Amino acid sequence: MNDKPIKKKIEETEDGSVLFNVPFPTELTPEALAELKKMRPIIVKDPYAITYLHSYGQDSPWFAGLSNKVLLGSRDPETGYTYATPRSRDMHTGRETDWVELPQEGKIHTFTVCYFGSETFLPETPYILVQVEFEGADTLLLGRLLGLDPNDASLDWVGMKVKAKFRRLSKFKPTDVYFVPLEE
């Protein structure tokens, strides 16, 4: 037999929502209760937080590289096909890839100006996203471009040389690397 006491009541705490002036009849007459059908909905705004635990799995070296101001890609050891956005397996052969260091300079392959973004980027709109091509890499790397005015977007930017910059304090997110025009 279990000697643990059985809960008979939910513990009351002082946290939770605080509402003011919620209309409710002082006397619960049939007429007053019928009037509740006309009551407007109570709307409650509560802060919501969650601790999200996740793993970068096979991509962990890429994020470790960013935190050490190094750009890593991956390469099929037999064909030499090189991914600027790393993959653990080659998309053509399925073979396991090897980590390789990428140059920190490249050029803009294409770009877009974003006038809307996720909650994180919304205050920064408009902002510029670029696909950067690197010497010796067969694919492109998506990143943000800083140092140019999004309102001056021009096809002249295609082919522009750019340089990788890294956050001083890594957040272990893809946004730890961004690009700026390379001044020659």
Please tell me the distance from the alpha carbon of residue 70 to that of residue 101, in angstroms, as a whole number. 7
Q: Where are the domains of the chain?
A: 57-181
pLDDT in tens, 97-154: 999 999 999 999 999 999 998 887 788 899 999 999 999 999 999 999 999 999 999 9
Flag whether the pTM goes above 0.75: no
